[in-house]
Amino acid sequence: MTVKTKNIMIVGVGGQGTLLASKLLGKILLMKGYDIKVSEVHGMSQRGGSVVTYVRYGEKVYSPIIDKGEADIILSFELLEAARWIEYLKTDGIIITNTQQTNPMPVITGAAEYPENLTDKIAAAGARAICFDALSLAEEAGSSKAVNLVLLGKLSNSFDFTEEEWMKAIEVSVPEKFLEINKKAFLLGKNA
Amino acid sequence: MKKLMLGNEAFARGLYEAGCSFASSYPGTPSTEITEFAAKYPEVYAEWAPNEKVAMESAFGASLSGKRSFCGMKHVGLNVAADPLFTISYTGVNAGMIIAVADDPGMHSSQNEQDSRHYAIASKVPMLEPSDSAETLAFVKAAYELSEKYDTPVIIRMCTRVAHSQSVIETSERDEIKDRPYEKNGQKYIMMPANAKARHPFVEKRTVLLTELAENCDFNRVDEGEDSSIGIITCSTSYQYVKEVCGNKYPVLKIGMTNPLPVKMIKDFASKADKIYVIEELDGIIESHCRNIGIEVTGKELFSNIGEFSQSYIAEKLGVELPAYGKLGEEIPGRPPVMCAGCPHRGLFYTLKKNKVKVLGDIGCYTLGAVPPLSALDTTICMGASVSGLHGFNKLSEENSSSTVAVIGDSTFMHSGITGLVNIAYNESNSTVIILDNSITGMTGHQQNPTTGYNLKGDPCAKINLEELCKSIGIKRVTVVDPYNLKECDDALKAELAADEPSVIISRRPCALLKYVKHNGPISCDTDKCIGCKSCMRIGCPAISIKEGKAVIDSTLCTGCGVCSQLCPKDALGK
Ligand SMILES: Cc1ncc(C[n+]2csc(CCOP(=O)(O)OP(=O)(O)O)c2C)c(N)n1
């Protein structure tokens, strides 16, 4: 076996901008010459449901999806979603999560409760957990919509790609007028 | 150039490179993006047809006229287009014609889990099954050659994991394909009994020739393995899971042409391994074929015919150890999809729930009206079934007639609701049909349709007038309401249920996610006035929650539609 396939999951709530994060990751991995598969389900789940994107890269990638215990890294846009997918993390994997909380419908209607102390429980599940408030940093960068770039910045510390390479991938994936905000958000996340 | 492409985008790229110039489809997850991406190539004319049958017949017409053509649909779309399929199999084509059908094992966004391969077998049309984006591109190009050489439409079966996964492909230039001149040929194209009788033997002969091709073609191949105690026959995304788990351990026969299947190739492969596993999602099609040709295999007794597979699923069945993982040890509340804040369907469904009517439902974003707290649907079967079902439900029951409605979206009404309404008018049931006109095909991601006034490219075009259409069918009572106005909805519903003749209510307001829709801006809750009665919680709006006994509005979600304000007894929800 040569280069082992790496598995990254990006999870969140439909409409949170997880798609841009996976698109950007795909771009940079392609630039580095890896074989890649990126997989996500479109359709029904986009309407505020739980969403997941699988990114796999290496010398030769077969399956487009990631199963329980296989993810090297989980990047989560919302705290409950980090908890939902924790079983997919390798025992020595890293979970990076935004601490923002968005109530799902069963919680809104009172049929269920949003679990308490999730950051502690996620850390106790055996994973290396990085929990931080990406929303505030996005607002600091200039837009609450830039949460995805803040999280990606944090994720970038787990790769040995240069800052220039990341910036180049951002430039080809983000519209000109949002470039400044997005770059700023990326750096705030990276250094958080 | 190397690119990362979605399976569906690679499909479109294949159409472009193969010189396809006509595409007609009806949207349906997971097939929709093929046609959307195809439309981005100026050389490919692409359109949304009102339904799959029209799409397939249009694509056939284009092929007849000499252009390489395409039509795409999801698995259940092929049910709608089955009628032309079975006879186009007999006539064959002029220029090449490809049909994409996208199955959805695991039902990520579908109402059933049917296996489209049965259609290829039943209609005797060749079917190819790619397992990633690069194969999709290659198979599309090869399919046009097949179609023209063997005089047949060709079906390419996608599945969710191939359609919606990106992998690396290499693009090339477009082949400029000359039109094939149309020639009148009644014996080939007029399928009345005498001619059809003569064409049927052609079809059977074609299958024999295609089977010979299947024995020796690029679609089917053997990956050699080190350990021949097991040989695996597989196809589509299952192939990827098998390789993920086994690498080069066992020999693998990868089937890329699922109809017709090879005979000799399978026998040869089976003779070199001690035990044969057939690993295919959904039904045991390859497995049955193996048994028919006398090969003993292990198939559906081990690998389920329900749901989708994954590498862990295959690993477990093959006795390979699964990775360990940490557990949270706590129930995590589900996060089901919900109607968006500001969705125009919400006010109408609240009205239906409040009036305790029975609701025969249909398929679209409004199917989400079935979930709590609205819980306002009784049925969902297939596109169009609400309207026709209502007629049968009401025809012999006065009680049902005054307490039941059908709800159907604008796109779904165009697809297959009209004929049901014709039946209501013609056979006179006292039925009330509600058309939820949000001016777009919402569920599948905002496609234009004949009621929106725009075509696939976004250019203005003829717009169906729903009121006039219903009247011309013979429905005299046609009312239009604004679903943001609860009183208007309530009055109309009561009046039409009480009326002694068929009626249509058009609930009209564009989808809140459409770019051109202007919102009022978020409202807020006046906590001095709010008494925490939770009346506003009855509509299941994701922007409203209760904190410390008072309503709280999430200003990032709220569009200011004002439906909740109308429910507040204390006038606490406003600007
Ligand atoms: C035969 C068939 N074709 C396609 C689909 C996929 N599909 C589900 S709902 C829908 C259209 C929904 O649009 P509309 O009726 O306008 O309702 P909306 O989602 O906008 O509320 C489509 C195309 C299907 N389920 N069945």
How far is the C-alpha of A83 from the C-alpha of A81, rounded, in Å?
5
pLDDT band at B492 (very low <50, low <70, confident <90, very high): very high
Options 3.30.70.20, 3.90.120.10, 2.130.10.10, 3.40.50.9100; which CATH number does B524-574 get? Answer: 3.30.70.20
Q: How many CA atoms lie within 13 A of B188 on its CB side?
A: 10
Q: B383: alpha, beta or left, given left = phi > 0 and alpha = psi -120 to 50?
A: beta
DSSP state of A46: G
Q: What is the pLDDT of residue A82?
A: 97
Beta strands in B43-164 (DSSP E): 45-48, 69-74, 97-103, 127-128, 154-159
Percent of chain B with pLDDT over 90: 97
- At A45 the pLDDT is 55
Specify the amino acid at residue A187: L
CA distance A155 to A75: 7
Phi/psi of residue B174, each to 5°? -80, 135
Tell me the backbone φ, ψ of residue A101, rounded to 5 degrees: -120, 130
pLDDT of residue A181: 96
Q: Does A38 touch chain B (CB under 8 A)?
A: yes
At the fourth CATH level, the homologous superfamily of domain A6-190 is: Pyruvate-ferredoxin oxidoreductase, PFOR, domain III (3.40.920.10)
Domain ranges of chain A: 6-190
Q: Is the pLDDT at B11 greater than 50, yes or no? A: yes
Q: Is-cis flag, bond preceding B333, omega within 30?
A: no
Query: How far is the centre of ligand 1, averaged over its atoms, from the C-alpha of B447 (Å)?
Result: 10
Q: Which residue has the tokens 């799902």?
A: A104
Q: Are B570 and B534 in contact (CB under 8 A)?
A: no
CB atoms closer than 10 angstroms to residue B447: 21
Nearest Cα neighbor of B328 from A32, A86, A177, A112 is: A86
CA atoms within a 13 Å half-sphere pointing along the CA-CB vector of B336: 18
For the segment B343-352, what is each residue's pLDDT rounded down to a tens digit?
999 999 999 9
Residue A46 has pLDDT above 90, yes or no: no
Q: Which of B528, B565, B570 is nearest to B543 (CA)?
A: B565
Closest to B434 measured CA to CA, from B353, B331, B505: B505
For the ranges A78-82, B65-69, B466-470, B554-558, which has the lowest average pLDDT? B554-558
Per residue in B315-327, pLDDT (tens digit) is 999 999 999 999 9
The alpha carbon of B441 and the centre of ligand 1 are apart by a number of angstroms equal to: 7
Q: Which residue has the tokens 């230039």?
A: B173
Query: Which amino acid would we find at residue B345?
Result: H
CA nearest to A78, candidates B539, B332, B551:
B332
Rounded to the nearest angstrom, the distance between the alpha carbon of B14 and the centre of ligand 1 is 26
- Please tell me the distance between residue B28's alpha carbon and the centre of ligand 1 in angstroms: 7
Measured between CA atoms, the residue of chain B closest to residue A121 is B328
At residue A43, the pLDDT reads 62
Nearest CB to A68: which of B325, B334, B540?
A: B325
Say yes or no: do domains B221-318 and B345-508 share a fold.
yes
Q: Does A47 touch chain B (CB under 8 A)?
A: yes
CA neighbor of B408 nearest in space, from B444, B361, B453: B361
CA dist A110 and B116 (Å) reads 41
Instruction: Tell whether the model's pLDDT for residue B287 goes beyond 70.
Output: yes
Q: How far is the CA of A158 from the centre of ligand 1 (A)?
A: 42
For residue B443 and ligand 1, the question of a CB distance below 6 A is answered with yes
Identify the CA nearest to B311 among candidates B161, B163, B101, B167. B161
Superfamily of domain B345-508: Thiamin diphosphate (ThDP)-binding fold, Pyr/PP domains (3.40.50.970)
B337 falls in which pLDDT band (50, 70, 90)? Answer: confident
**A142 close to A107: Cβ distance less than 8 angstroms:** no
- Determine the Cα–Cα distance for residues B474 and B213; give it in Å rounded to an integer: 55
Q: Atom 15 (ligand 1): residue with closest C-alpha?
A: B409
- pLDDT for B380 equals 97
Chain A residues with CB inside 8 Å of B312's CB? 67-68, 70
- pLDDT tens for residues B81-125? 999 999 999 999 999 999 999 999 999 999 999 999 999 999 999
For residue A165, give how far its alpha carbon lies from the nearest alpha carbon of chain B (Å): 17
CATH class of B221-318: alpha beta
- Partner-chain contact A30 B2, CB within 8 Å: yes
* Cβ-nearest to A41 among B2, B108, B335: B108
Q: Which residues contact A2 (CB under 8 A, 6 or more apart)?
A: A59
Residue A173 to residue A24: CA distance in whole angstroms: 6
Q: Given a cut of 60, is residue A103 above it in pLDDT?
A: yes
Interface test with B, best of A30, A65, A74, A147 (most B CBs within 10 A): A65
Output the DSSP codes for B501-538. S-EEEEEE---TTSTTPPP----EE-TTT-----GGGG
- Say whether pLDDT at A1 is over 90: no
For residue B394, CA distances in Å to A23, B378, B503, B507 come to 51, 14, 13, 22
* Domain residue ranges of chain B, discontinuous segments joined by +: 2-215, 221-318, 345-508, 524-574
Which residues lie across from A12 on neighbouring strands? A51
Say which CATH architecture domain B2-215 belongs to.
3-Layer(aba) Sandwich (3.40)
- pLDDT of amino acid B5: 96
d(CA A66, CA A55): 8
How many A/B residue pairs have CB atoms within 8 Å? 184
Q: What pLDDT was estimated at residue B30?
A: 96
Whole-angstrom distance, CA of residue B232 vs CA of residue B276: 6
ipTM passes above 0.85: yes
Query: What confidence tier does B257 reach under pLDDT thresholds 50, 70, 90?
Result: very high
Minimum Cα–Cα distance from A113: chain B residue: B333
Three-class SS of residue A5?
Answer: coil
CB contact under 8 Å between A67 and B336, yes or no, is no
Q: Which pLDDT value is given to residue A15? A: 79
B111 inside 8 A of chain A by CB:
no
Q: Which atom of ligand 1 is nearest to the CA of B443?
A: 19
B80 lines ligand 1 (CB under 6 A): yes
Q: B440: Cβ below 6 Å to ligand 1?
A: yes
Residues in chain B, overall count: 575
- CA A38 – CA A18 distance, rounded (Å): 12
Secondary element (H or E) of residue B2 = strand B2-6
Index of the ligand 1 atom closest to the CA of residue B367: 21
Average pLDDT, chain B: 97
d(CA B219, CA B213): 10
Residue bearing the bigger pLDDT, B485 or A127: B485
Provide mean pLDDT across the span B506-531: 96
Q: Band of the pLDDT at B314, cuts 50, 70, 90?
A: very high
Q: Measured between alpha carbons, how far is A83 from B549 in angstroms, rounded to an integer?
A: 27
Ligand 1, pocket-test mutation among B411, B414, B437, B439, most atoms within 8 A of CB: B411
> Would you place residue B219 in the very low, low, confident or very high pLDDT band (cuts 50, 70, 90)?
very high
The label of the residue with tokens 């079809």 reads B203
For residue B345, which residues of chain A lie inside 8 Å, CB to CB?
none
The total of other beta-carbon atoms located within 10 Å of residue B459's CB is: 8
pLDDT at B466: 98
SS3 B472: helix
Query: A61: exposed, middle or buried (C-beta count within 10 Å: 0-12, 13-18, 19+)?
Result: buried
B241 interaction partners in chain A (CB closer than 8 Å): 62-63
What's the average model confidence in pLDDT over A93-111?
92
Whether ligand 1 lies within 6 angstroms of the CB of B343 is answered as no
Residue B388 Cα distances to B157, B385, B412, B413, angstroms: 30, 5, 13, 11
Tell me the residue ranges of DSSP E strands in chain A: 6-13, 35-40, 50-58, 71-76, 89-98, 128-132
Residues A67, B540: C-beta atoms closer than 8 Å:
no
